[in-house]
A = this chain, B = another copy of it.
Amino acid sequence: MTTEEDQGASALPACLRELPSRLLSQASAHATRLVTEELGAADAHKWHYATLAALEEFGPASQAALSGRTGIHRSDLVAVINELAARELVERTPDPVDRRRNVITLTAAGRRRLHKLEQLLATAQEELLSPLSETEREQLVGLLGRLVAHHAHGGPTMGADDR
């Protein structure tokens, strides 16, 4: 009675397994899972990292600017800043120059936290790329970078949407 319920990626038809778009999708899913697991173990998620990283690289910024720099939707950023501020990893203060804005500033604890998350992310990347040699990793990153760059700014159809 037991049907071939044994599962596994190899159960998929060849035409599905070999489609580049599907390979990308699956590889991306694994990457997301690894990153989410690593960060989750430290009670963080990718948006925490993105926000802290943008603050370290560009300095204090309004939420609108952060939204543009991280790709996090203006609406969801509110919750992210709430969480970071609750742990005193960032400070949210009204902008004296334009009082519609908040200025978000990285604290010392936030910078330490960022470095911790960078470490966890590096672990996830290492796990993700573990089957590849150093040369192959560079190849992959190069090829992906070209794909993303090509489609990021006005592809064949139109564009300017990247998310």
Contacts and interface: CB of A to CB of B under 8 A. Distances in A.
A13 B148 contact: no
Number of copies: 2
A21 B150 contact: no
B30 A69 contact: no
Nearest to A32: B25
Interface in A110-163: 118, 121, 124-125, 127-132, 136-137, 139-141, 143-153, 155-163
Given A13-B54, A53-B13, A70-B12, A144 B24 contact: yes
A150 B23 CA distance: 13
A85 interface: no
B141 A23 contact: yes
